[in-house]
């Protein structure tokens, strides 16, 4: 019996992200919608003050439609994104599958890993979550595994670093 290759062993990642990440992604999108709405309405107000009223009404309508679209995407996209995002760790390497419309599967052999970071922004910290960022020398970028429990992220970063022979996971 032949030994499975990295490609065949890691194509279907099975580990999902913590469901709390859905709320973090939604909140980020809604914060962006708020910023777009406030700035857009400020521009519409300036146009109203110094320009033609019809143009101000058009700018205001565009802002409302854009803000509404961003709010709607914040309600729909995070759930789908969570359903698709998966990761796995094997003796050979790490695989991360992500993407909402265009899905991407990234396979990183342990020998290619240069550093591993566990990171947590303010919204993630508030939800008790963190991300693991696997750094390689690839110009295509390095994969991230977001939406992990803080302790699980630290343990995963340390395990990946150990398997990759990296001195320290940060």
Find out whether 147 and 82 touch, Cβ atoms under 8 Å.
yes
7 located within any domain: no
Residues 48, 96, single domain; the answer is no
Which domain, by its residues, includes 57?
21-81
118 located within any domain: yes
160 located within any domain: yes
**CB contact set of 89 (below 8 Å; sequence gap of 6+):** 15, 156, 159, 160, 163
Given its phi and psi angles, is residue 97 left (phi above 0), alpha (psi -120 to 50 degrees) or beta? beta
d(CA 76, CA 100): 11
Residues 47, 107, single domain; the answer is no
pLDDT tens-digit map of 77-104: 999 999 999 999 988 899 999 988 888 8
* Residue listed under structure tokens 């992500």: 98
**CB contact set of 25 (below 8 Å; sequence gap of 6+):** 74, 77, 78, 81, 82
Residues 149, 124, single domain; the answer is yes
Residues 73, 106, single domain; the answer is no
d(CA 50, CA 35): 23
Residues 99, 146, single domain; the answer is yes
Confidence of residue 151 (pLDDT cuts 50, 70, 90): very high
Residues 48, 65, single domain; the answer is yes
Number of domains in the chain: 2
Residues 119, 140, single domain; the answer is yes
Give mean pLDDT, residues 135-145.
86
55 located within any domain: yes
Residues 66, 90, single domain; the answer is no
9 located within any domain: no
pLDDT tens-digit map of 33-83: 999 999 999 998 999 889 888 898 999 999 999 999 999 999 999 999 999
């Amino acid at each position: 019996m032949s030994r499975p290759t990295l490609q065949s062993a890691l194509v279907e990642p099975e580990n999902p992200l913590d469901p709390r990440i859905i709320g973090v992604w939604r909140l980020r999108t809604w914060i962006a919608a708020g910023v777009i709405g406030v700035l857009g309405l400020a521009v519409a107000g300036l146009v109203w003050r110094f320009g033609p009223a019809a143009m101000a009404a058009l700018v205001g309508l565009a802002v409302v439609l854009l803000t509404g679209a961003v709010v709607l995407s914040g309600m729909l996209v995070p759930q789908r994104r969570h359903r698709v995002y998966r990761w796995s760790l094997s003796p050979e390497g790490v695989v991360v599958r992500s993407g909402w419309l265009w899905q991407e599967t990234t396979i990183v052999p342990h020998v290619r890993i240069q550093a591993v970071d566990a990171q947590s922004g303010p919204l993630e910290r508030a939800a008790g979550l963190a991300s693991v960022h696997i750094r390689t020398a690839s110009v295509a970028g390095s994969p991230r595994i977001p939406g992990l429990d803080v302790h699980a992220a630290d343990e995963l970063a340390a395990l990946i670093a150990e398997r990759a022979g990296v001195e320290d996971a940060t």
